[in-house]
């Protein structure tokens, strides 16, 4: 594809969104440098469901087949009664594939991150910079200078904040708007298959929502491990961080009354393999862009995980950012195209996830998944930009 503007792009945050954006821009001929606060650039041990809309972005980025080979095409998604385990709804993945053209994948986050990072490094082995915590920026008519906690600086034509739901880039651009506790505490664990009760394994993917709580399990890596995530309503949360060790006892206590095999699954979690964190939320913004700086992924539209679309949205954003740059004559045009294409959808999915959270944890309300809401029909490779 012919490049119409010359722009050196700086990305803050080497998570799924930042890495995918780097790849989308590189593939369209742009020079990219990515700055990540962690000492080592890698993802944590947790699962993520990647649906058709995001897989279309991964196909365009040339990494979908590699990811599929490492992942699970979950055969069927079950919604079960939280006390008895009785199946209330079964959605075969094949049915999803027939409706939207591509099946959903159960993916280890580290695998998704690695296929993206390998492709980025193959394009430019020197573009990733670890141990660089963004703390502020200055911009002028020619470019942006980012400042890091070490005192170092870096300069580029534009800066993309891809630094997650407590984004320092967003706080710098919009200092009056702080992330707040979303009233939900999350537990997460990866459990070896040998420790999974047979009835849970047989049901493949189990989502069970009880009053004020929700639990989801699905297999990763060809069934070697079971991903387990729980979300519990809570009035308070004081600790910072999202990888705080939790105990099996407190997890079991939070799910008192749940079907015995799910409680056995929780009790079987191996030592040092259970973490908790408080979910953060922010209100939708009227703009994501200030001058030569914009945002993507959770930085732009932090969302609760009830529709399983946060990483998918970050992948969609990444591809549209690359397409917008490729279609534009100037940085301002590229940012306008990107934001016009992405902000309505980011806001819609952010607000829908919030609504679904309240629905899910209320047994009297009817669930509407991302597919039910038509979100999987979106094609980030062909929507106008």
Ligand X SMILES: Cc1cc2nc3c(=O)[nH]c(=O)nc-3n(C[C@H](O)[C@H](O)[C@H](O)COP(=O)(O)OP(=O)(O)OC[C@H]3O[C@@H](n4cnc5c(N)ncnc54)[C@H](O)[C@@H]3O)c2cc1C
Report the interface residues with ligand X, using CB under 6 A: 12-18, 35-38, 48-49, 133-134, 162-164, 168, 186, 188, 229, 297-299, 305, 308-312, 314
Closest CB 36 distance from ligand X, rounded Å: 5
Could you write out the DSSP letters of every residue in 215-272? EEEEEEGGGTEEEEEEEEE-S------S-EE--HHHHHHHTTTS-HHHHHHHHTPPTT
Residue 168 Cβ vs ligand X, minimum distance, rounded to whole Å: 4
CB of 272 to ligand X, least distance (A): 19
Question: Would you tell me how many other CB atoms lie within 10 Å of the CB of residue 286?
Answer: 8
Shortest Cβ distance from residue 320 to ligand X (Å)? Answer: 14
- Which value, to the nearest 10 degrees, does the dihedral of the CA atoms of residues 248, 253, 255, 258 take? 100
Residues in the chain, overall count: 385
DSSP H or E stretch at residue 182? strand 180-192
- Give the nearer residue to ligand X in terms of CB position, either 165 or 248: 165
CB neighbour list of residue 306: distance below 8 Å, 6 or more residues apart: 214, 231, 353, 354, 356, 357, 360
Which CB, 200 or 314, lies closer to ligand X? 314
Nearer to ligand X, 35 or 82 (CB): 35
64 or 163: whose CB is closer to ligand X?
163
Calpha distance 136→159 (Å, rounded) = 11
- Do the beta carbons of residue 53 and residue 197 sit within 8 Å? no
Report the C-alpha gap between 328 and 6 in whole angstroms. 10
Measured from the CB of residue 329, what is the shortest distance to ligand X in angstroms?
28
Nearer to ligand X, 31 or 133 (CB): 133
Of 14 and 67, CB closest to ligand X: 14
Q: Are 355 and 83 in contact (CB under 8 A)?
A: no
User: Minimum Å distance from CB 116 to ligand X?
Assistant: 10
Instruction: Report in angstroms how near the CB of residue 6 gets to ligand X at its nearest.
Output: 25
Smallest gap from Cβ 243 to ligand X, in A, equals 11
Distance in Å, CB of 110 to ligand X, minimum: 12
CB of 22 to ligand X, least distance (A): 11
Q: 134-146 in b/e burial notation, b at 16+ Cβ within 10 A?
A: beebebeeebbeb
List the structure tokens of 345.
């959808």
Between 132 and 263, CB nearer to ligand X:
132
For ligand X, the closer CB: 5 or 285: 285
26 Cβ partners below 8 Å, 6+ apart?
32, 120, 123, 124, 127
Nearer Cβ to ligand X, position 313 or 324?
313
Question: What's the gap between Cα 72 and its chain centre?
Answer: 18
**Residue of 8, 341, 258, 6 whose CA lies nearest to 146:** 8
Instruction: State the maximum Cα–Cα separation within the chain, in Å, rounded to a whole number.
Output: 63
Q: By C-beta, is 38 or 153 nearer to ligand X?
A: 38
Nearest to 93 by CA among 79, 82, 77, 109: 77
């Amino acid at each position: 594809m012919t490049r119409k503007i010359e722009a050196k792009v700086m990305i803050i945050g080497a998570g799924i969104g930042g890495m995918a954006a780097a790849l989308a821009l590189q593939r369209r001929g742009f020079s990219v440098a990515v700055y990540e606060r962690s000492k080592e650039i890698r993802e944590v041990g947790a699962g993520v469901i990647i649906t058709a809309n995001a897989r279309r972005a991964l196909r365009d980025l040339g990494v979908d087949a590699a990811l599929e080979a490492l992942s699970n095409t979950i055969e069927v998604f079950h919604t079960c009664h939280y006390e008895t385990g009785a199946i209330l709804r079964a959605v075969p993945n094949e049915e999803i594939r027939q409706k939207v053209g591509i099946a959903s994948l159960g993916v280890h986050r580290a695998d998704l991150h690695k296929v993206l990072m390998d492709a980025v490094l193959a394009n430019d082995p020197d573009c990733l910079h670890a141990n660089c915590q963004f703390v502020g920026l200055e911009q002028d008519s020619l470019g942006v200078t980012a400042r890091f906690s070490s005192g170092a600086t870096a300069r580029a034509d534009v800066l993309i904040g891809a630094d997650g739901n407590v984004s320092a880039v967003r706080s710098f651009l919009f200092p009056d708007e702080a992330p707040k506790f979303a009233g939900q505490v999350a537990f997460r664990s990866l459990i070896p298959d040998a420790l999974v009760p047979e009835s849970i394994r047989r049901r493949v993917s189990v989502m069970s929502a009880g009053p004020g709580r929700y639990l989801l399990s699905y297999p990763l890596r060809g069934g070697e491990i079971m991903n387990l995530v729980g979300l519990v309503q809570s009035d308070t949360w004081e600790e910072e961080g999202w990888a705080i060790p939790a105990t099996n006892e407190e997890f079991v206590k939070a799910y008192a009354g749940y079907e015995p095999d799910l409680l056995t699954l929780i009790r079987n979690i191996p030592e040092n393999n259970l973490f908790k964190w408080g979910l953060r939320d922010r209100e939708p913004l009227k703009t994501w862009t200030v001058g030569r700086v914009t945002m993507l992924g959770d930085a732009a539209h932090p969302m609760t995980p009830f529709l399983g679309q946060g990483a998918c949205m970050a992948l969609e954003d990444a591809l549209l950012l690359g397409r917008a740059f490729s279609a534009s004559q100037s940085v301002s045009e590229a940012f306008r195209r990107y934001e016009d294409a992405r902000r309505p959808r980011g806001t819609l999915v952010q607000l829908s996830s919030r609504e679904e959270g309240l629905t899910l944890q209320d047994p009297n309300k009817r669930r509407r998944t991302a597919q039910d809401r038509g979100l999987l029909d979106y094609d980030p490779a062909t929507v106008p930009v």
